[in-house]
Chains A and B, each alone.
Chain A
Amino acid sequence: MSMLRKASNFFFYFFFIIFASMSFAQSSSEFPSNEPMEIGEAGLYTLDSTGLIFPFVAYPQDASSVYSVGAYPLTTEPLPMGERQEIVQSFCSMCHSTTVISLQPKFSGQVWRHEVEKMKLLGAQIPDDMITHIIDYLEKNCSVKSKN
């Protein structure tokens, strides 16, 4: 980790890293549990809103068995401005950036509802009343009738 940090500090001016510690919990019936072990690190991202900063971190210049590329750059596409935007921002960003939402064609509310329900099925931890807000925002701001 210190290797990554040193390199990152050296390369980036604006910086945040999302840490994902490897935790292997109990198994479930559908998904077998992973072996408790530390293979490496995953899920490290760093802010690069300019798209101009070369995100590569020099790989560890040593003969060790660790193969590393440093943090991945975030170049997030903002959501369209709208009411309850921050709710969508915070809940949806738990698992993915908003880029993927902003880069969809303007679907009908029905299609968006289906997508949000699919996210819940995938395991998104979003309370039902928030789901309603999210669908509402997408209908108003990312649908055919929207006026952006």
Chain B
Amino acid sequence: MNKDFLSYFSHFPVISRREWLKLFGLSTLSTLSLQKSFGGEEARKTHLDISSPSPFWTSQNPFAYEPQKLPLIRLNDRPIVLETPREFFEFSFTPNAAFYVRYHLDCIPNSIDLSKWRLFLQGNFLNPVSFSFADLLTRFEPVSIVAVNQCSGNSRSRFYPRVPGAQWGNGAMGNAKWTGVRLMDVLNKAKMKENTVQIQFQGFDYGRSPEGTPAHSFIKSLDRDDPILEETILAYAMNDEPLPLLNGFPLRLVVPGKFATYWIKHLTWIRALDSLDTNFWMKTAYRIPKNRHNSVSFEDYQKGVSFETIPIGAIQMPVRSFIIQPAGDSKLIEKMPVQVKGIAFSGYGAVAKVEFSSDGGNHWQDTTLGKDLGKYSFRNWHIFWTPKKAGEYILASRAWDEKGNTQPLTPIWNPGGYCWNTVETQRIWVGKNS
């Protein structure tokens, strides 16, 4: 067992070290709580059990049927919050109908009239203009990029102690080919004034609290000198189809490598600002510790020890990898080779390597990477593995990106439940073959 695991868990007085390891599926000790296959109600209780991180790949909730969507896991019905089931991540591209949905505010467009909708450029521009959808299609060069869209709180149910917020498993992410116009092409038409410091984005969705309050408008800003602006696009197509309404029809911001909180849906207003955006969604919400792995000690936090925070847009999405198959929903058979497969991505650049372990992180071996679809895309990986004898195994995957970043082996913690990228494990039982 890796020493790092052990040293970290001693920080948690609430639960014994051994207990923690068991819950996290990082030990080969048998555990009653996870051995049995759960019934629905029991799985749900376990998923929301305050005494442990959720051991499940996705959250344990009923499915909901929403327009243009396959049944997806319902975390909330108003505003709509839906998680993508694990099986869809076998593909490089997440189908539009299976793509996760997350809204803050509940007045979500049910219908949009393109004869009235415009993209407005306002504020600190020499030439404030607006564009119709037809303008975007005909007056600008179309560009495409394959990029992962991941919620800042993806995998929040992994945090321990648990933190409030959408109790996501790993399904608050998706990969798509986004097609649209370059943000810079649009900004150049409106001519930003020299003293512009940030670009602000707002969509057509809104909330029922009074205008001027944070819960009326969801607004995010990017720094003018952030190099990502050059790669940012205003997408009107997703996987070569119009955007589903719940994924931002008719136009959404695509900020490759950044968390999805910046990928404004139903984009309607772009404003140039001559001073820093101090609205709630920038100044108060979506902030993370400025530490390694954006992590603080829970005990220090409880004691009120202060720490410096930054908006989550100040970083790229940390490198992650996932095992998609085998999923632990059935036993494997001793001496029978299986293909272990999954995905990996990083906001810092291309995935360079994905390693696989079948013994809970003691030994790692390189896997075979799939097709390179671009540095911001999911990268598929696979490896053939033959369990030599019957018993219990802890599988794990660990990715490295081209910048040399890799995933921590120990849990991180922050009060918002953001940026989880700890190595994921999969407990597997292997049965006798005769």
Task: Give chain A's interface residue range (CB within 8 Å of chain B).
Answer: 35 or more
Q: A40-B112, A42-B107, A55-B66 are in contact. Are A97 and B215 (CB under 8 A)?
A: no
Are B208 and A28 neighbours in the complex by a CB distance under 8 Å?
no
Q: A39-B268, A73-B65, A103-B61 are in contact. Are A68 and B110 (CB under 8 A)?
A: yes
Chain B residue, CB-CB nearest to A144: B50
| Distance between Cα atoms of A113 and B150 in the complex (Å) | 29
A 88-101 to B, binary, CB cutoff 8 A, 1 in contact else 0: 00000011110110
Chain A residue, CB-CB nearest to B78: A97
| Distance between Cα atoms of A119 and B110 in the complex (Å) | 25
| Distance between Cα atoms of A101 and B76 in the complex (Å) | 9
Residues of A71-112 at the interface with B, using a CB-CB cut-off of 8 Å, are: 71-76, 94-97, 99-100, 103-107, 111
Q: A39-B117, A106-B48 are in contact. Are A74 and B109 (CB under 8 A)?
A: no
Minimum Cβ distance to chain B for residue A96 (Å) = 6
Residues of A8-50 at the interface with B, using a CB-CB cut-off of 8 Å, are: 20, 24-28, 30-35, 37-45, 48
Chain A residues with CB under 8 A of B219:
31
Are B110 and A41 neighbours in the complex by a CB distance under 8 Å?
yes
B79 in the interface, Cβ–Cβ < 8 Å? yes
Are A39 and B63 neighbours in the complex by a CB distance under 8 Å?
no
Are B65 and A55 neighbours in the complex by a CB distance under 8 Å?
yes
Chain B residues with CB under 8 A of A107:
50, 162, 164
Chain A residues with CB under 8 A of B116:
37-40, 65
B216 in the interface, Cβ–Cβ < 8 Å? yes
Minimum Cβ distance to chain A for residue B418 (Å) = 15
Are B110 and A123 neighbours in the complex by a CB distance under 8 Å?
no
Are B111 and A51 neighbours in the complex by a CB distance under 8 Å?
no
Minimum Cβ distance to chain B for residue A77 (Å) = 8
Chain A residue, CB-CB nearest to B111: A68
Are B64 and A73 neighbours in the complex by a CB distance under 8 Å?
yes
Stretch from B31-39, B67-75, B369-377 contacting the other chain: B67-75
Q: A72-B66, A122-B209 are in contact. Are A42 and B108 (CB under 8 A)?
A: yes
B298 in the interface, Cβ–Cβ < 8 Å? no
Are A67 and B77 neighbours in the complex by a CB distance under 8 Å?
no
Minimum Cβ distance to chain B for residue A79 (Å) = 14
A33's contact among B80, B211, B268, by CB below 8 Å, is which? Answer: B211
Main secondary structure of the interface of A (DSSP, over half): loop
Are B208 and A95 neighbours in the complex by a CB distance under 8 Å?
yes
B185 in the interface, Cβ–Cβ < 8 Å? no
B284 in the interface, Cβ–Cβ < 8 Å? yes
| Distance between Cα atoms of A25 and B208 in the complex (Å) | 13
Are A42 and B110 neighbours in the complex by a CB distance under 8 Å?
yes
Are A96 and B106 neighbours in the complex by a CB distance under 8 Å?
yes
Are A30 and B278 neighbours in the complex by a CB distance under 8 Å?
yes
Residues of B196-221 at the interface with A, using a CB-CB cut-off of 8 Å, are: 204-217, 219
| Distance between Cα atoms of A100 and B74 in the complex (Å) | 10
| Distance between Cα atoms of A119 and B105 in the complex (Å) | 12
Chain A residues with CB under 8 A of B77:
45, 72-76, 97, 99
Are B215 and A67 neighbours in the complex by a CB distance under 8 Å?
no
Are B113 and A39 neighbours in the complex by a CB distance under 8 Å?
yes
Chain B residues within 8 Å of A, Cβ to Cβ: 48-50, 59, 61-68, 74-81, 105-117, 120, 122-123, 162, 164, 166-167, 204-217, 219, 242, 245, 249-250, 268-269, 271, 278-280, 284
Chain A residues within 8 Å of B, Cβ to Cβ: 4, 20, 24-28, 30-35, 37-45, 48, 51, 53-57, 65-76, 94-97, 99-100, 103-107, 111, 114-115, 119, 121-125, 144
A-B contact pairs, 27 of them (CB 8 A): A4-B110, A25-B211, A30-B280, A32-B271, A37-B116, A38-B116, A41-B109, A41-B111, A42-B109, A42-B110, A67-B250, A69-B111, A73-B64, A73-B65, A73-B66, A75-B62, A75-B74, A95-B105, A95-B106, A95-B207, A104-B48, A104-B164, A111-B164, A114-B164, A122-B214, A123-B207, A125-B209
Beyond A45-B77, A99-B76: 15 further Cβ-contacts under 8 Å? A31-B219, A38-B113, A42-B108, A42-B206, A51-B64, A56-B67, A68-B110, A69-B110, A73-B66, A94-B209, A99-B78, A115-B164, A119-B215, A121-B280, A122-B215
